[in-house]
Structure 1
């Protein structure tokens, strides 16, 4: 803000172009990429000169027109090749008016014999944060707005909003939100999509760059680069570019300012800085507890529930609204005698007089059983006296891989099993341990693998190897969800439901429910047949 002096601004920019026809065929020769650009302001002539991709244009006060937007100023030149330059106005409030950062776009259109050649060059510029003053600790939350253009059967405008979170300590940032494509001639919305960007910050330099993606029913991939603006990184600006597999392209800019009202995203389970609710699918075994590790009438169930965490009180809430379950576990509910370096155990008594127990796996390198950063698991129990109904529920939760972050190629994972089992005809119950493995084909969206559950009898302490079972029809969905049948001897025995976790899909977690014998045709299970319910968590071990 204020009176500008002559200056050539540092900036981040992109270039997009394409050829369009009157018959509205798909864009021809669509191109989009980040690019080098020069934006220079001359205080004497009050003019801007833009140079990029071998082209130069100068825009003076004589070229000013009414922009039609309170947030933008616009210059126009009409001729054989018509040009316009739009720049955001300075200000302290509003989606596109900022004190330190500005955005702009230079457009060129040549129309001849019904053929339109169009170029679009968006950029951000302004009073950038000095390299030494870019924060290197803490977190920054920014509300962001996006402006751009998209080449489909014609050039269309794009507008969006969302938030950006900068992890200054670890030098990374992410941004996500909504990005809409609009026909400016009719005002009609062509599509509404979601965008996601991830970037690494340069060490010691005010700059970040990384991958940028969008999906509005069609998947776009690309890149973005930007920097922080203002004396203390109060604002942010970036240019982005996108391309789809069928040749559509898009490009634009992003502007944002810090906003303390935004709700941040936890970057790892080892440090929960923000309140969070983890949705999950659970696997449940309920039965009549006859005491002494013996049970009757076992029933298996799978469904949805939530694990919530409140930072201010360090409290967990386990809730299942469909079954009127809501239990809260505070630090005073920790059971020191049952907690250890692998698990934190809580117990509380509800208003119904029933005791509830929550056991949570501890993330981080201090866990001697498995080191997890993004995925974890829990065990929720309704514990009552002998002869009463018992509910035993397992669930996986964590910081799920964004669908845009699913890697290419293949990956192998190994993991552990935890769970509960009971004989189908009644009798002994077991605590489950064991191992599992996964072979992911990320490109094909499929996986195979196996699990080998081991039971320890709660009646007599004896160990039982239930066998090795395979994952069949394993599928990876576009949101990083996992599903598979569990089979043995070529027959269906149960299910696995889970997800990939972490920004690079480095961990896996999910729940399973199965029986050791197939009874699809009404067979009576043998005396040794068992129901198994539990959780699997694992880490990536190779390609």
Structure 2
């Protein structure tokens, strides 16, 4: 049901710190509404315009994570201190955070200025290795303003009883709910990367490719596409995978479109003051026929990009 009408109000206080006013709307002869609104300045709406490279205060980011075994969630966190360059990756194990402190001194020599900054840290019976997308301007892999991404391998213990987790994550200056568009549409494009166990072609390793996303803000829905390849000297095509889903008050989520041929999920966020960029974690599972049965294939990873 569509209402039309008018509203009017004023700003109050120094620097237009507060606002208030009245509104009236109707959908014709059937219904009408009237009321008032009041509010004050929300620093989060102003901060939404801040590029990651311009952060000066410590921040905690909620992550979109893809894991092996294959699943996605938005439960983990990453603390960032721009003064020291220190990160704290809070991996969820069971029902609790397990923190990994990642210092500037943990940077692998020679990678500090690369497109991906590599880290290695040993914290007693726990180890972490991996990389973080370099947010400095001019990144050759993909240049983003409000979004970043990373891949971490965590290891607990040593020897035959050790536990190893592979995690791909996206994070950034997420678009506040009040600034996510509710009308119109937008097209985005970017990259995808992750890990795979592909029995159908005998491959177990990392993958890369392209991603795109089309958001229909009128309908609060989206579609997205991944085109994936193996990370080999001569990359092999894995396939094209389609997703669709819903845009929520904050973020978005959905499933693989070709169910039951494929199954999989995704969860993500828009980043920047006008939903300028996207980042999401994804999974794909499918079977390929084989003599006497079927071969399982699993993929998991992340996709990031920006408006076309």
Alignment TM-score, normalising by the size of structure 2:
0.81
- The answer to whether the 8 A contact 1:412-1:439 is kept is yes
Aligned residues of 2:56 and 2:83 also touching (Cα < 8 A): no
Q: Distance in 1 between matches of 2:257 and 2:288?
A: 9
Q: Which one is further off, 423-432 or 368-377?
A: 423-432
Deviations 1:397-441 (A, max 9, x none): 111111111222011011100111123599642221100111110
> Which structure has more RCO (C-alpha within 8 Å, separation ≥ 6)?
2
Corresponding residue number in structure 1 for 2:29: none
Partner of 1:248: 34
CA distance in 2, matches of 1:487, 1:254: 42
Tell me, which stretches of 5 or more residues in structure 1 are unaligned?
1-29, 36-122, 126-226, 229-235, 257-263, 286-298
The residue number in structure 2 matching 1:533 is 300
Structure 2 SS opposite 1:317: strand
Once residues 272 and 255 of structure 1 are traced to their aligned partners in structure 2, the CA distance between those partners, rounded to angstroms, is 20
Q: Secondary structure at the match of 1:332?
A: helix
**C-alpha contact (below 8 Å) 2:80/2:86 kept by paired residues:** yes
Distance in 2 between residues matched to 1:350 and 1:327, nearest whole Å: 8
In the TM superposition, residue 273 of structure 1 has moved relative to its aligned partner by: 1.2
Task: Provide the rounded CA distance (Å) in 2 between the counterparts of 1:364 and 1:313.
Answer: 16
Which residue of the partner structure matches residue 500 of structure 1? 270
Using a 3 Å threshold, how does the CA distance of structure 1 residues 518 and 248 change in structure 2: closer, same or farther?
Answer: farther
Q: Which residue of 2 aligns with 1:435?
A: 210
Q: CA, structure 1 residues 430+322, in 2 after alignment: closer, same or farther (shift >3 Å)? A: closer
Match of 1:451 among 226, 236, 239: 226
Name the residue aligned to 2:179.
405
Asked if the contact 2:7/2:24 (under 8 Å) is kept, the reply is no
Q: Secondary structure at the match of 1:504?
A: coil
- For the aligned residues, what is the CA RMSD? 3.3
Matched, 1:510 2:280: yes
Residues in 2 aligned to 1:455 and 1:386: alpha-carbon distance in whole angstroms = 29
SS at match of 1:463: coil
Aligned: 1:344 with 2:232: no
Match of 1:477 among 242, 245, 248: 248
Q: What is the match of residue 67 of structure 2? A: 284
1:44-74 CA distances to partner (integer Å, 9 max, x unpaired)? xxxxxxxxxxxxxxxxxxxxxxxxxxxxxxx
In 2: Cα distance, 1:242 partner to 1:442 partner: 26
SS at the partner of 1:517?
A: strand
Does structure 2 retain, via aligned residues, the 8 Å contact 1:315–1:328? Answer: yes
Paired with 2:284 and 2:136, the residues of 1 have a C-alpha distance of: 30
Pairing partner for 1:334 from 82, 100, 107: 107
2:76 aligned partner: 305
Displacement of 1:488: 4.0
5 Å matches for 1:100-499?
Answer: 124=12, 227-228=14-15, 237-241=17-21, 243=23, 247-252=33-38, 254=40, 265=47, 267-285=50-68, 299-303=69-73, 304-323=75-94, 325-352=98-125, 354-382=126-154, 389-407=163-181, 408-423=183-198, 428-457=203-232, 461-472=233-244, 474-479=245-250, 481-488=251-258, 491-499=261-269
Q: Any gaps of 5 or more consecutive residues in structure 2?
A: 26-31
Post-superposition shift, 1:383? 5.5
Larger Rg: 1 or 2? 1
Task: Output the CA distance in 1 between the equivalents of 2:269 and 2:278.
Answer: 6
- Is the Cα–Cα contact under 8 Å of residues 364 and 372 in structure 1 kept in the other structure? no
The C-alpha deviation readout for 1:193-225, integer Å capped at 9, x for no partner, is xxxxxxxxxxxxxxxxxxxxxxxxxxxxxxxxx
SS at match of 2:246: strand
Which residue number corresponds to residue 88 of structure 1? none
How many residues of Structure 1 are paired with residues of Structure 2 in the alignment?
A: 289
Secondary structure of the residue that 1:416 maps to in structure 2? Answer: strand
Q: 2: distance between equivalents of 1:253 and 1:413? A: 33
| Whole-angstrom CA distance in 2 between matches of 1:253 and 1:486 | 40
- 1:488-524 CA distances to partner (integer Å, 9 max, x unpaired)? 47634211110111110010101011124289xxx95
Where 1:468 maps in the other structure, the secondary structure is strand
Q: CA deviation at 1:381?
A: 0.7
